[in-house]
Amino acid sequence: MKAPKKVTGKTASPYGYPFWEWVAKEDPDYVTARGPLMELSVGEGKELSIKHKEMVIIGILAYRGRKDGVVAHMRRAIDHGASKRELLEAVQAAAVPGGGPCFSTGIEALMELDKAGAFKK
């Protein structure tokens, strides 16, 4: 079995989280070992596309009140074809089990991206 490539730089996280860049410098073996699980979790699936996996993650992060994470995952969903309407409906669906704080976190993230021009046609 081939040894996995070292993961450094931008490839440490597909979301641009700066803490992963720090971890990649401090312990590149950890980031390399985590890579295959990360690919299974947020990479293209057998049945679920990256866009749809991101929408699941968005709902969970919105429930947890992690607006920064919601924005990062929405950006990746957009990069993989998600529309503003699809993201809005994902937040609306998460609001039923997640409640008002989940809804407001998701909507605030969506508004931030809309204001930043993420949905240019």
Domains of the chain: 9-42 (no CATH), 50-115 (1.20.1290.10)
In this prediction, residue 6 carries a pLDDT of: 42
pLDDT of residue 11: 57
Residues of the chain with pLDDT under 50: 1-10
The percent helix, strand, coil of the chain (3-state, each to 5) is: 70, 0, 30
Phi, psi angles (nearest 5°) of residue 82: -70, 140
Amino acid identity of 36? P
pLDDT in the model for residue 24: 92
Question: Which pLDDT does position 17 carry in this prediction?
Answer: 84
pTM of the predicted structure, to 2 decimals: 0.83
pLDDT tens readout for residues 104-116: 999 999 999 999 9
Closest CA to 106 of 45, 36, 73, 59: 59
The pLDDT of residue 10 is 45
